[in-house]
Structures are given as structure tokens and as C-alpha cells.
Chain A
Amino acid sequence: MINLGLAQISRALGSGEFSSVELTQKYLQEIAKQNSDLNAYITVCDELALSQAQAADEARSQGNAGPMTGIPIAHKDLFCTQGIRTSCGSKMLDNFIAPYNATVVENFINAGTVTLGKTNMDEFAMGSSNETSFYGPVKNPWNRDLVPGGSSGGSAAAVSGRLCAGATATDTGGSIRQPASFTGITGLKPTYGRVSRWGMVAFASSLDQAGTMTQTAEDAAMMLNVMAGVDPKDSTSSDRPAEDYTADIDKPLTGLKIGLPVQHFSEGLDATVEQCIRDAVAEFEKLGATVKEISLPNSHLSVSAYYVIAPAEASANLSRYDGVRYGYRCENPVNLEDMYKRTRSEGFGTEVKRRIMVGTYALSAGYYDAYYIKAQKIRRLIKNDFEKAFQEVDVIMGPTSPHTAFAIGSKNDDPVTMYLEDIYTIAVNLAGLPGISIPAGLLNGLPIGLQIVGKDFAESQLLNVAHKFQQATDWHEKSPV
């Protein structure tokens, strides 16, 4: 039963094929078996999960079950969970137990889901391989010598390795889509502002967005139904009404206009990956879509702009970790400065410190205009590129990543090589657009992801497009398990 997708589980629970308690026990058993090696979870909530499952079964027996009631999911360990550690993959928050729930977590609790645990991640979501976690790297269920991608590597591995029915994740610069691509699952990053950020430990506030890791687009739609909506606690959440994202999921794709950005099919792209993506696009043509080439002329600037804006915001967002009120504090500080210096030197890992330094530099007097302001201008140009493209096409498709999952430890020497991992995904964050990565093929037995980018708040359309592809193909059913 743990091989089923979230929507299938929902139906099975509804028809009484098995109970939430039975299913939860199965997942917990599997986690107990697998996690010491996969390292997908930082914290497993056995007792809580079972009591929630029991409550869900009771609610169902009283006729009070919704589509998500009793479904075991996992949360990326940067969503605050009341009473459960929220570590953000960092030594800094290893001892941090939030006194409140993130809006996303609260919404899932209200929907009756079961919380299996908190998933591993790059420290403060900074990384593309899940190797920067204080809790050690996550392994890719398809090949345990490989990374699962990052920063939501734990959520990706948990879904791919069938250690939960679905998981929450976040995407600041590809952190949902790239690991989804590497682990052969469906990863949805909604439009900036679609899902509340309240209770999500901040990395880069203007880019961070919560989304889903699931087996299928239909599963993602069900999760997004729980997550989406305005939140008075998040001033940047959109007051545009959320939709029922499953409603239009089966609409035919006749007349759909697909754009392929030339810049995403150029040098650096693995030839087999390219072929696989072109095959997927051909599949869409069979489904009634038309395809044309488009240009995103400023896309080559996106990684540079991102690595100014995101670290700049992060440098301020991470200032609160000072050892004063919660989290790690160094031993026996001799004075205030010593406490700050050692707390932050000892509490943060290398990549986090690197980005704090980069961000601090970019915001410094004398450099602000050359870096931060310039990066914001590029951001505007990138947004304009997309707006122009969307005058001609409905969705934009391309590879999620230039290649398949790489070996653990293979890209740790040069941070820039790692930053280039997100070359196709980052522009979408800068533009605030929704994007989804779906399995579109295999290369040497490893999954390849197709990225589909939509207009602002076009989540329903993206999920419809992804779902129709998944109806016509079986790449999403390929599993390492």
C-alpha cells in the first residue's frame, strides 16, 4: 500500500481498503528500515503519527472525512511544527522546538493528515544536493551513491523512496523542481504568494515559496488544495482566491501552446536529456498541443542575479540566530562579541556562512548599487522576458536540470559548479512564476525531469498539463522501490 500515490491512497482509505493506522504503521516500519541509510528524515514522529491516524480513522467512521483525512505526509524541516523540532538542517536550530505551527502545517492538520516526520534538507535550504545538512547528506533512492538534489532532498527522497504519500517542500531557486527531477517524482512550486510563508523558516523572503513533492500531478493538486490561499499573517500572500486545483485537471490539451526557450536547449545540456525532453514535448503534440521556439534572452543572467538577491536577503534573515533567545549558543562566551562570533561560527555550516558573507558584501555601502540594485534590474528584465513569451504561448517547457543526479561529493570543491545546477529553474523564482517538474524519462536508469512553467497563478493549468502527460505516459510510475 505504500507504493500508492496520494490520490490513490485517498480513494483506498475512502473505500475502506485499509485504515490510516494500518498505512501509517507500514510507513513507520519502512522508515525504520530505510532511514538510517537514506537519511530522508531528520525527525520521525511515531507516536504523533499514530495518534493522528487513529483520530483520522475515527473521524472517517463518523462520516467526517475529507479527501486528505488520514493521509501520512512529511514536512520539510523548515516548516515550524509546534512541539516538534524544526532544525532547518542546521546545528543552529538543532535544539529549536517551535511554539507554533506554520500556516501550511496548520492547514494540513485541519485537513486531517498524519505527520510522519520532518524531512532532511540543505542547511537553511542553501544547497542543490542536500549535502550541506548538519544531519548529513540524503541518499538518492535510485542509487545510494548519488545525491537526491536539494535543498528539498529529504522530501524528494521520502516520496521517491515511498516513505510517505507526499511531502511539503520549498523552492527558493529550484529546491523543489531539481530534487523532484533527480528522484523521479512530481514537484510543484506555486506562484510566489500562492502559499503562506508564515512559519516557514526564511531563506530569501522574496523568492521562498512552499510547494509539494508527490508521485503525480493529481496528488500535487490535492495537496495544493490544502495549502493555497491568502493568509493575513503573511503580507506577501496573494488575496486572489485559491481554486480547486483538481477541478480542471482532466481537461483536454487541444490548442495548448507550448514554448521551448532556445536558451534551455543549448550548450551544457546533456544530449540524452535533451532527446528525452523533446520526446516528451512530442507526446504533448500528440495530445493536441502546438509547439514553438521562444527566447528568454536574459536567462543567462539569472544565476548571477539570484546569487546576489538571495544571499542579500539571507544575510538579514539569518541575523536573528545570535544565541540570545533560542537555538545554539556557544559555550562560555566571555563577552557579547565573543558570543556572537562563536555562536554563529560554530552554529552555521560553510555554505551558509559563505552566503551570509556574499549577501553582506552585496549590501555594503559602496557596493549596494553595483550588486543589489543591478540584480534587481536584471530580475525585472527576466520577468519581462517571461511576460513577453507568455503573450505567445501558454506554458514553457524544458529540462529541469541539464543532467541526472550526480554522485555525492562530486561537486563540493567549487561552489559555482553547484550554483549552476539551478540554471533552468532559478529564473522562475526571480519572476515569481509557478513551475512543475515531472518525470519524463530515464537515462542510465536515472530519472529525467521535464520542467513546465506557467503564467502567474496558472497552477490549475500546469497541473492539468502535467496530469494529461501522466495519463498518457508511465514515467511517473517508475520507482526505485
Chain B
Amino acid sequence: MEWETVIGLEVHVQLSTASKLFSGTSTEYGAQPNTQASIYDLAMPGTLPVLNTEALRMAVKFGLSIGAEIGKKSVFDRKNYFYPDLPKGYQTSQLDYPTVGKGELVINMEDGSQRTIGVTRAHMEEDAGKSLHEDFHGKSGIDLNRAGTPLLEIVSEPDMRNAKEAVAYLKKLHSIILYLGISDGEMSQGSMRCDANVSVRPKGTTKLGNRTEIKNINSFRFVEKAINIEVERQIDIIEDGGKIEQETRLYDADKNETRSMRSKEVANDYRYFPEPDLLPIVIDDAYIETVRATLPELPDVKKQRFQDQYGLSEYDAMVLSSDLASANYFEAVVDTCDDAKLSANWVMGDLQAYLNKEEISIVNSIVSAKVLGGLIKRITDNTISSKIAKTVFEAMLAGEGDADSIIESKGLKQVTDTGAIEKMVDDVITANPDQVQQFKEGKEQVIGFFVGQIMKASQGKANPGQVNKMLKEKLSK
């Protein structure tokens, strides 16, 4: 039987507010345990929450960026359950009246196709602390630094049909979040966490199969792997005559498997009810418009502009616009060198290769956009060839300076003096009569041999265009 996969994602995004959702405590990452836990975060008796309006602004900003309905009245609820790193014994979240309602996200697949994925809702809630099980011999330690950090939980419709779409959705979300500046999006630090609801059904049917929820998948790569392995598991079970149990599963990246965490049947009844310590959040159109005015150019709009303004291919425009930092870098390169196509090639090619190799982000590139632009400028004004440019770029990576100083100190300036080139051409023709004969007999590809010899003789500095042209003239005589 042919199976269809149905995937919905719940993505928790840690909002990059300076302080927590309800307490004013700093949210900075990496402090000593419990040094960023105020009396509210510790759930001391008598303490009360006060909403961080910056988190609200960020949530609304996100909602507007995906064209979602914005809740004019949103309500916080208490979600009750006991856990040692949940100090109040309830998580303050939003159930019936989330700040962000229905919206949608257009995802871009590798083959250039697009799909629209529904976003059911996005609601604000507070994060829990962390339980530490090491170093406490038979006991657990609790670190409440993270407790109360604002999260935006973005819930998608079950609109994705394979793991690649799920990854594309997550990447688009990631891209938008960074564009909006509402989170650092660092999956490795838990700033963006993903739970995947996965089910399968016979292709052509519409009834949803029993789903499992895969928890806390912390990289794009693992999302794809976890979903694929879970889909495989579910199909195996069903084909063996079994039934999928609705449950929460944990992805183990080391073993590349999912395993049962707890069954929903014995899971908590969360006993949600409206948080009486907070009034409903009421916002008006004026507020929404104020937030809308702060929206930046978003990835899809930027992509179109890159195509229109710079004549980039759709693919190049998509790659460069998907990440705000890359887009900004690219535009800064174009600003300097005024050649968008070459800029795109360099940013996506040599620069990206270097970034990948060093595993650093573009904002930390040792070669600045201005310096790269300077290099490209020397290609376009024929000071150096593209080939020599690669040598210069290597030197730049080695920290040897900008294009002009490297070209100068290494003597890499291209030879464009017709006389000098002519002499090299003549020399090479004289020295290789056999190849000249072959050319005359119609074996035109031998011209590559001559170019190679001349480039060797000029240490790559001869202008290849000139060399080609002159060679052809002389050999054809």
C-alpha cells in the first residue's frame, strides 16, 4: 500500500526580550544556576505576574508577518501540572484566546516549488526551568534561570506531507524570526525548539491516522531524520497489523530512533483556567498599526526585489534572502562593487564554502562585505582575472589584507599590455610546432594547451580574454 505522511509542527521560539515574561528578571543565557531567578520566578508565596509588554509586541509582530489574525483580546491561562522545574505548579500560557490566530507561511522547496502551510495559532507562554541530574548523587538539582523566559509557541496545521516540507517550514519560520529580530533562533541553545506531530494514512484517504508527538528535536537535520524514522516505524507497525498508539516520543539522535516517553492516556489533565492574576490583554488597531510600522522587509518580498533590482535568478534570490545576515552582506558587497551577479556568485560560492568549512556565521566572516566587494571590483575592472581573484581571496582569508594590497604585494596585477601578451603568444607558438600543426588540421581544442602554457608563463596574470583572442588570430594565419 502507498502511504501518505501528515505532519504538523509545534515550534517554541524563545523571544529575545531583555527580561522574563512576568518578572523583570534578566533572560541572559549561560549564567550560574539560579542567579537569574527572582522571587516571582521562585514562586515565592504572594508574588504576582506583570506582563512584559515587549513580549506582546514581538508576538504581534510575528502575527503580522504571517498575515495572521491578531487577538484584540488575549487571555492567559494556567496550565496545571507538577514538576520540580515548574515552580508555581502551573505554566502560564494561552489556551482559548491566543495573541496570534490563523495565518499562513509560504515555504520554498529545493526544487523551486512553493507550498502554503497554515499556521493555526501562536501563543505566549513562560518556559520552565531545568532539572539537573548529574553531580547530585541520587538527587536532582533545579536551575530556575530559564523559568519564566517568554516563549512564542507557533502551532501549524497538519499541512506538511513529508520531512523535507517540515524542514522547509522550520527554515522559513527561522528566517522570519531572525528578520523580525524577535529571537536569536539558536536551536542548539534551545531558543527554537520543535515538536513534530506525525501520522500516516493510506494515500488517497482523508481521515487522519493516530499521531505521535516527537519532542524536542534540536536541529533542522534531526527534524528530517526524526520524522523519517518515525514514519518508517509507523508504517512498519501498521503493515504488521498493529495500531499506532497516541503518545509522546523522544528522538534519540545517537541511535537515530524515537522512543516512547509517556502515553497520552495517562498524561496529565492540565485543568486549564483563566489566570486570575492577570487581566485580559486588550489591544486596539492603533497599537497593531504601530507594530506593523516596525515590520522589516520580509524574506519573500526581499527575494522578489533581488530578482527585480539585481536581475538574480529565482534560486540565487531565494538563497540570499532566506537569511537576513546573508542578504545584508550581499547587498553591502553589491554596494561596493556594483556587480550583483558576481556578488551573488562569490557570496554563495567561495565565501559560503569558507563559512561552512569554519562553521561560522556570515556576521563573523573574516572577510567583510566591503573587502569582498573590493575584490570583485578588481575583477570587473580587469585588474585581475577570476582565477587570480581566488588566490587573492585565499590571502584575504589568511588575513593578509584587502584586495588592492594583496594584488600589489604579490604582484598579481593582470598583464593587459598587448605587446607583452603578443610576445608570450609568439614564444609559445614558436616553441610548439607539433601543436600548431594539430590546430591547423582542425583540432581546435588544442588552443587550451596554448592558453595553459601562456598562463603558466605569466603566472596566471595574462588576461585570458586577450590571450584567447590573440592566439586564435595568430594560429589561424
Contacts and interface: CB of A to CB of B under 8 A. Distances in A.
Interface of A: 78-80, 86, 88, 93, 96, 98-100, 102, 197-202, 204-206, 232-236, 312-313, 315-316, 318-320, 322, 324-326, 336, 340, 360, 363-365, 368, 372
A330 to B, nearest CB: 14
Nearest to A326: B44
B47 A198 contact: yes
Interface residues of B, number: 29
Contacts of B97: none
Given A313-B276, A316-B271, A363-B80, 14 more contacts: A96-B45, A98-B44, A98-B45, A198-B46, A198-B48, A199-B47, A235-B49, A235-B51, A235-B279, A236-B279, A316-B89, A318-B89, A322-B82, A365-B269
Interface in B242-289: 269, 271-273, 276-279
Contacts of B457: none
Contacts of A88: 45
B78 interface: yes
B379 interface: no
A340 B276 contact: no
Interface in B21-62: 39, 42-51
B264 to A, nearest CB: 12
Given A100-B39, A233-B50, A201 B80 contact: no
Interface of B: 39, 42-51, 78, 80, 82, 84, 87-90, 140, 142, 269, 271-273, 276-279
A205 B276 contact: yes
Contacts of B43: 320, 325
Query: Which label, helix, strand, loop or mixed, suits the secondary structure of the A interface?
Result: loop
A201 B273 contact: no
Nearest to B271: A363
A197 B137 CA distance: 40
Contacts of B44: 80, 98-100, 326
Contacts of A232: 50
A139 to B, nearest CB: 27
Nearest to A361: B271
Nearest to B22: A235
A340 B90 contact: no
B84 A235 contact: no
Given A93-B45, A98-B46, A198-B46, A319 B89 contact: yes
A234 B45 contact: no
Give the top 3 A-B pairs by smallest Cβ distance, nearest first.
A319-B89, A363-B271, A205-B276
Contact of B277 (A86, A235, A363, A364): A235
Contacts of A320: 43, 45, 87-89
B130 to A, nearest CB: 13
A201 B45 contact: yes
A363 B273 contact: yes
A205 B2 CA distance: 55
Nearest to B140: A336
Contact of B46 (A201, A324, A325, A365): A201
A296 to B, nearest CB: 24
Contacts of B90: 316, 319
A116 to B, nearest CB: 20
Given A319-B89, A363-B271, A233 B48 contact: yes
Contacts of B50: 232-233, 235
B365 to A, nearest CB: 45
A96 B39 CA distance: 13
Contact of B273 (A100, A316, A325): A316
Nearest to A313: B276
B46 A312 contact: no
Given A233-B50, A234-B48, A235-B48, A319 B88 contact: yes
Contact of B82 (A80, A205, A340): A340
A315 B84 CA distance: 17
A312 B273 contact: yes
B276 A206 contact: yes
Contacts of A99: 39, 44
Given A100-B39, A236-B277, A316 B45 contact: no
Contacts, number: 101
B262 to A, nearest CB: 14
Given A199-B46, A200-B46, A235-B51, A364 B271 contact: yes
Contacts of A206: 276
Contacts of B276: 204-206, 236, 313
B317 to A, nearest CB: 46
26 contacts: A80-B46, A197-B48, A204-B276, A205-B277, A233-B50, A234-B48, A235-B277, A236-B48, A313-B276, A315-B80, A315-B271, A316-B78, A316-B89, A318-B89, A319-B80, A319-B88, A320-B88, A322-B82, A325-B87, A326-B42, A336-B84, A363-B271, A364-B271, A365-B269, A365-B271, A372-B273
Contacts of B87: 320, 324-325
Nearest to B42: A325
Contacts of A324: 84, 87, 142
Contact of A360 (B42, B142, B271): B271
A231 B369 CA distance: 51
Contacts of A86: 45-46
B123 to A, nearest CB: 18
A329 to B, nearest CB: 12
A194 to B, nearest CB: 15
B89 A322 contact: yes
A146 B78 CA distance: 40
A363 B78 CA distance: 11
Contacts of A93: 45
Nearest to B43: A320
A236 B78 CA distance: 16
A21 B53 CA distance: 47
Which of A201, A206, A325, A326 counts the most chain B CB atoms within 10 A? A325
A368 B271 CA distance: 8
A318 B43 CA distance: 10
Contacts of A78: 46
B150 to A, nearest CB: 16
B42 A202 contact: no
A312 B271 CA distance: 9
A364 B39 CA distance: 29
Contacts of A80: 44-46
A320 to B, nearest CB: 4
A234 B45 CA distance: 14
Contacts of A98: 44-46
A202 B46 contact: yes
A191 to B, nearest CB: 15
A360 B269 CA distance: 10
B142 A202 contact: no
Nearest to B270: A365
- Residue of A200, A202, A318 with most chain B CB atoms under a 10 A cut-off: A202
Contacts of A102: 46
Nearest to B89: A319
B45 A202 contact: yes
Query: Which of B47, B140, B142 has the largest count of A CB atoms less than 10 A from its CB?
Result: B47
Contacts of B278: 235-236
Nearest to B278: A235
With most chain A CB atoms within 10 A of its CB, the pick from B43, B45, B269 is B45
B273 A368 contact: yes
Contacts of A313: 273, 276
Contacts of B272: 363
For A234, A235, A372, which residue has the most chain B Cβ atoms within 10 angstroms?
A: A235
Nearest to A318: B89
Contacts of A197: 46, 48
A336 B273 CA distance: 26
A79 B47 CA distance: 11
A232 B23 CA distance: 12
Contacts of A312: 273
B51 to A, nearest CB: 7
Nearest to B39: A100
A196 to B, nearest CB: 9
A79 B46 CA distance: 8
A322 B87 CA distance: 9
